[in-house]
Structure 1
């Protein structure tokens, strides 16, 4: 049985540089890094020291708040450097690997016969628990709180996002094993959303299927939760990304942890947009080698709306399955605010004409086309924000740290990525995602 999720509010940002459905296998050698900052809210306690030889799947550090939550090495090799920042904060754990991989054996299991506690213990020991995130707060799930439901989005609607129908092809066995395991971790339902009839997630058992349609952010989990089973105060929902299901399923079926991604190389500054295979934490220079136009380019680990700026010396985010390269917006137009605009996307019709050609693809750069200023009340946020929430009021409540207002305005239901579109169209150029992240952190610290 399936239920449809349709939204009308939102905005599809069509960009040039969509990945062709061709996958190139990359060699595994090189330098990899695990960044504790990828796991928001985690305070790392280091287990492996510099010079230590580690296997793929061996724990590098654990969460100070719960030592059961381990964070593993995605590859085998030697820990060559632990990079620290201010106050000795751990920024990166670098591993130099070779082409031959040695995996820690966690043992094959029969998911059907396992209890919920046995599955949890297996996910803890193997380092797979960080793939389970939670609402509220958009952090690694607290295993001591029972979720009322688990959500998986099998449809990515962000600009140039990887096509899950293609990425998940041939992984049905792994997907089913992971979903069966997740179904035992909640007394509620496991909700899976798909965007087409070709999705490998379409025939999965032990789940409730939803067909989604509409503009971005229909692929965001928060949008789907709000439509299916909204979060109230005191409730918890767990979220797992579709490509992380494959990692969990492979662990259950083979006993080995393969944090392997089919990564979409996208954007106008990628010479040949396509898919490549890479492990989490791979050096970006190795992933885009020979395929990047370096002329005034912004490289992003993730999508253009919610990804993080990186460099070729940087590393692929632990949860990311996309690298985007677009022009750096460091040029300015003379009287750009006072002439008709045909080459940019805008929800306003004031001298902008993108609404005349909704299917046109644009080559946008990173220029904000304006300066930071106080909020201007235009009503435009609500046009692209499908949740039943007042976005500007919530942003302001986060800024002046009113916990009661944040609760009442629906902060439990959102993640920073849900405000990426409002940030994109904001005439005030306010950093919406950063504001929401700080607000959620404050709520977590004060309210638990």
Structure 2
């Protein structure tokens, strides 16, 4: 039975520069790249050396922890560089793309009669398995585990986030194929959170339980929906997957080809013409950034949304999971006595000298300035006002900082991912790196308990 979930705790960040709903095909990138940091917890073992030729969908490396889990090239071409860091750790893999793309083809089969083991094997060898993540630990799903449910968030409430329905328009066939395949992996339900059941691209999809979710950010985060629909207890596992990744899986099942194409929202106040671009995973961001133009020389480019993304240079590459790229002003200037005068052009969760609460629909042109420095971690009660999960956020953060495994378990670390703390990090008056703290806590818990 579907649920009507209304999120009351949270905070919407209405920023200038949302992408207009027009789509342009980006210029083909000369070089494509995979960032190994995108695959958290994976120890790569290369299958192709520098100078080797690969097809689109051909394996580049495998996971040392599970040799069946392959990671593939988004395009055909020559592997021109393996960028390494300290202790020869692989950081980035770069492929010089062919002008005419060639695809590695896999065998297709009838999904209605296919066994779960056959579908799982195809997803592993085709490079599509990394799209499936699991909780606890927010890592690529363990193929040997059986999830109690699968969760998909069919909309996003993140600042400047892409419109999921617009991105997936016309992809209903691929979505249905992917849903039919994933249903064979769980004895439970596939839950899809939607903000509008009538206009959602998932309205005609069968085999899912649609849950109406309303309210401010983080209503669109899958972690919020898990907490309100089917919380995770110790020993349980759920899988999560994003809608655009479903499309890639569905196309593989229907055609036998790994098509790394994405519709990316280029947004932000520093972009002259923010809109959508059709590109591929790992493409050079400059291929579509400068097509829209930038109106400020001093800006920060973010690979992802403004709360959870990572800083990247214009000659950087689109992340494996990212569907949004944002350009906002760099906050490297400081206001004299900025803490001691009324503030009208910033968003705040408090009413002390700030007035964003008077007009909740107003759009702001925020920069990256943290408006303060790192300081003592104090108790304010502010986190609970924007944190809708049934978890004590401050206590969990401090348990992670002191590495108290028992407290981390009891306070609900199994249920969360770093992105669930992006909003508390934004409003934190102590300027603590909440997402980093949670990530380190999850890694410690995984290492000690598994």
TM-score (norm 2): 0.98
Q: 1:246, 1:45 → 2: CA distance?
A: 27
Q: 2:29, 2:335 → 1: CA distance?
A: 44
Equivalent residue runs for 1:281-430 within 5 Å: 281-293=282-294, 294-430=296-432
Q: 1:110, 1:174 → 2: CA distance?
A: 14
**1:258-279 deviations in whole A, cap 9, x for unaligned?**
1111000000011100000110
Equivalent residue runs for 1:46-445 within 5 Å: 46-196=46-196, 197-293=198-294, 294-445=296-447
Match of 1:38 in 2: 38
Q: 1:57, 1:110 → 2: CA distance?
A: 21
Report deviation, 1:146: 0.8
**1:212-258 deviations in whole A, cap 9, x for unaligned?**
11101011111000111100000000001111000000000011001
**1:427-447 deviations in whole A, cap 9, x for unaligned?**
000000000000000000000
Q: After the TM superposition, which of the residue ranges 393-402 and 199-208 deviates more from structure 2?
A: 199-208
Report deviation, 1:95: 0.3
Q: After the TM superposition, which of the residue ranges 98-107 and 407-416 deviates more from structure 2?
A: 98-107
Q: 2:350, 2:393 → 1: CA distance?
A: 18
Q: After the TM superposition, which of the residue ranges 99-108 and 379-388 deviates more from structure 2?
A: 99-108
SS of 1:184's partner is: helix
SS of 1:21's partner is: strand
Report deviation, 1:422: 0.2
Indicate conservation of the 8 Å contact 1:107/1:256, yes or no: no
Report deviation, 1:35: 1.3
SS of 1:288's partner is: helix
Indicate conservation of the 8 Å contact 1:137/1:441, yes or no: yes
Q: 1:373, 1:389 → 2: CA distance?
A: 24
SS of 1:143's partner is: coil
Indicate conservation of the 8 Å contact 2:152/2:243, yes or no: yes
Q: 2:388, 2:416 → 1: CA distance?
A: 12
Report deviation, 1:287: 2.5
SS of 1:96's partner is: strand
SS of 2:48's partner is: coil
SS of 1:111's partner is: coil
Q: 1:13, 1:113 → 2: CA distance?
A: 46
TM-score (norm 1): 0.99
Q: 1:98, 1:361 → 2: CA distance?
A: 43
SS of 1:444's partner is: helix
Q: 2:29, 2:436 → 1: CA distance?
A: 35
Report deviation, 1:199: 1.2
Indicate conservation of the 8 Å contact 1:5/1:211, yes or no: yes
**1:301-353 deviations in whole A, cap 9, x for unaligned?**
00000000000121111000000000000000000000000000001100000
Indicate conservation of the 8 Å contact 2:29/2:283, yes or no: no
Q: 2:242, 2:48 → 1: CA distance?
A: 28
Indicate conservation of the 8 Å contact 1:57/1:104, yes or no: yes
Indicate conservation of the 8 Å contact 2:157/2:219, yes or no: yes
Q: 2:31, 2:300 → 1: CA distance?
A: 22
RMSD: 0.9
Q: 1:176, 1:270 → 2: CA distance?
A: 35
SS of 1:50's partner is: coil
Indicate conservation of the 8 Å contact 1:28/1:98, yes or no: no
